[in-house]
Amino acid sequence: MFRPEIKVLDVSIRDGGLINEWHFSDEFVRATYQHLSEAGVDYIELGYRASKKMFDPEKFGKWRFCDDEDVWKIIDGIESQSKLACMVDIGRVEDQDILPKERSPFSMIRVACYMKDINKAIDLANMIMDKGYESSINIMAVSTNVEREISEGLNDLSKTTIPIVYVVYSYGAMYCEDITHLVKKYKAALPGKIIGVHTHNNRQLAFGNTIQGIIDGANFVDASVFGIGRGPGNCCQELILSFLQNPKYKLRPVLQLLQDYYLPLREKIEWGYIIPYMITGNLNEHPRIAIAYRDSPDKDDYVKFYDTLTTPEPDPQLKHS
Amino acid sequence: MFRPEIKVLDVSIRDGGLINEWHFSDEFVRATYQHLSEAGVDYIELGYRASKKMFDPEKFGKWRFCDDEDVWKIIDGIESQSKLACMVDIGRVEDQDILPKERSPFSMIRVACYMKDINKAIDLANMIMDKGYESSINIMAVSTNVEREISEGLNDLSKTTIPIVYVVYSYGAMYCEDITHLVKKYKAALPGKIIGVHTHNNRQLAFGNTIQGIIDGANFVDASVFGIGRGPGNCCQELILSFLQNPKYKLRPVLQLLQDYYLPLREKIEWGYIIPYMITGNLNEHPRIAIAYRDSPDKDDYVKFYDTLTTPEPDPQLKHS
């Protein structure tokens, strides 16, 4: 596949930070930036921008906040054609947390939201674009929305100038047929906009579904080194760059980064194809229950986890009748 | 996806044996047979049938040979609706190694071959069917064949009564588009025959490509518990059974088997998404070079492995000129 308009955005630090509360060392983030720049990755997302009134900087690492001055330090002296991105969540950031673009190292600030909050997300993305940044809206967990909700949200989005809208495959519950349906629906409802895909690897479909999205016309794709990301993780950067066959992308720097930094980290913290996440993917459930289970003494008792999620609880009414 | 004619064949012991030279304990194989029977898996492949003149029984475990008497012992007392299968390779088995079906626990003996040996495979499958077994031909490594070779081989197969022909994705080098092309080509060239798919997980596409094959009309699919298989392994049994939505399939017994037997084994021997196999998948190379590399002190130096495979060797002619 070669389609020069496809852009790759790396989410290693941002989505990976969901596992370790963004406690990456400066060296780790700098190496990520340097190697992904060499690899030709178009955008590198360094974390979330969030209000320090809402998140305690004593508890969370600096990539929960992505302060501009921390970013300037990290990128200092590294030659790069890659653009920097960070993400904001609805209601977790305030106007004063975002400087005008001229004073910031970031090119893009992406907005994540659930479909029910789409109009709040549009307001936030408009504020971000007014400050000079590129923006996108990443609508999470659409596998839990009924078709009418999706159509309404897309209709609202179609009236905006927000250039990029993502199909986000939050619970790892979709097959290629679902991706095809959504990417085609988004494209039809949002003429002139770029469609992105962000997938999760609960059932080893993150890469396959990203390819499917590209075949169906998505031109913005998220990936992370060795698939790092909360729970099952994401589409692997090393896989998507190999698939795209664009001569600007180089696999070798990603392999170097992977073996020097991400493989050792994977030995300390887990992500990837782990059965409780496969089970929540099958059931279209948020991974939080699997994350909690992996932190319990029963973490490898998959049958018990499966039974807990699939056995109907006795109806308390019936119990007392 | 619900299509009642789809059959699932489990290759855990046969393909998994390629990692440990078929040294599975009787308890392990018996547990596999019991749990997969409970799960409703249609066929369970217990290993290869091979000539003891060609393979040393001192070196290889008993599932390299699948002697009928060993199999009778393993299945004794277990209630099962599943059929038993084993596999033979061209030139590695003799007529006298295969008893008539009435005296054997096996229902199916599958023939694996490269496209160049298709007519030898047809002869062998005919011999097997003459003895009363079901058979299939699994044409390996078609990603290395040019289109004319594939067309010729399929033409030869179309004149036979062999009922099942597999698209085998040996080097993990195919994308969903390639699977679609091949499954449609096989279907068109082999009217009345069942098409199977057997995938490898070099690039985390084994499950996704199996789904794609099913969408395109394949009705026989191979899978293994936790994806066990040589190198990158195969499509996971726990994933495909979840996808198929046929009420006869039960996920729970596979999870039990996985946590009690396959997870502990995975801690001792490796298979799955491991970067050198990703690299051989990208390059459409046999995994043997990656297997050897994983057994070397450099096993996690992915860049060195990548460089070895992608840097052209100096031309010895030039060197001496």
pTM confidence score: 0.94
Report chain A's C-alpha Rg in angstroms: 20
Residue of B nearest to A300 (CA): B259
Residue of B255, B258, B279, B307 best to disrupt the A interface, most CBs of A under 10 A: B255
* Of A240, A230, A238, A233, the residue nearest A208 (C-alpha): A240
The alpha-carbon gap from B38 to the nearest alpha carbon of chain A, in Å, equals: 14
Helices within A140-251 (DSSP H only): 147-158, 176-189, 206-215, 237-244
The predicted-structure confidence for A117-129, as pLDDT tens digits, reads as follows: 999 999 999 999 9
The predicted-structure confidence for A254-284, as pLDDT tens digits, reads as follows: 999 999 999 999 999 999 999 999 999 999 9
Rounded CA separation A45/A154 (Å): 25
Lowest mean pLDDT among B161-170, B209-218, B288-297, B309-318: B309-318
3-class state of residue B280 by DSSP: helix
B173 touches A: beta carbon within 8 Å: no
B71 touches A: beta carbon within 8 Å: no
What percentage of chain A exceeds 70 in pLDDT? 97
Q: Look up tokens 């679609």; give the residue.
A: B180
Rounded CA separation A75/A49 (Å): 17
Q: Do A301 and B209 touch (CB under 8 A)?
A: no
Kindly tell me if the per-residue pLDDT of B314 is higher than 70: no
Please tell me whether the interface predicted TM-score (ipTM) of this complex is above 0.95: no
Residue of A228, A255, A305, A306 best to disrupt the B interface, most CBs of B under 10 A: A255
Q: How far apart are the first and last CA of chain B?
A: 63
Rounded CA separation B237/B247 (Å): 15
CATH for the stretch A7-266: 3.20.20.70
* Of B272, B303, B204, B305, the residue nearest A254 (C-alpha): B303
Rounded CA separation A210/A197 (Å): 6
Kindly tell me if the per-residue pLDDT of A198 is higher than 90: yes
Rounded CA separation B13/B24 (Å): 8
Contact A228, A264 (CB under 8 A): no
Beta strands B83-89 and B43-48 are parallel
The predicted-structure confidence for A32-65, as pLDDT tens digits, reads as follows: 999 999 999 999 999 999 999 999 999 999 999 9
Q: Do A303 and B255 touch (CB under 8 A)?
A: yes
The alpha-carbon gap from B140 to the nearest alpha carbon of chain A, in Å, equals: 22
What percentage of chain B exceeds 90 in pLDDT? 91
Residue of A nearest to B243 (CA): A282
Give the residue-averaged pLDDT of B64-82: 96
Domain definitions of chain A by residue range: 7-266, 275-320
A141 touches B: beta carbon within 8 Å: no
Topology of domain B7-268, per CATH?
A: TIM Barrel (3.20.20)
The predicted-structure confidence for B267-298, as pLDDT tens digits, reads as follows: 999 999 999 999 999 999 999 999 999 999 99
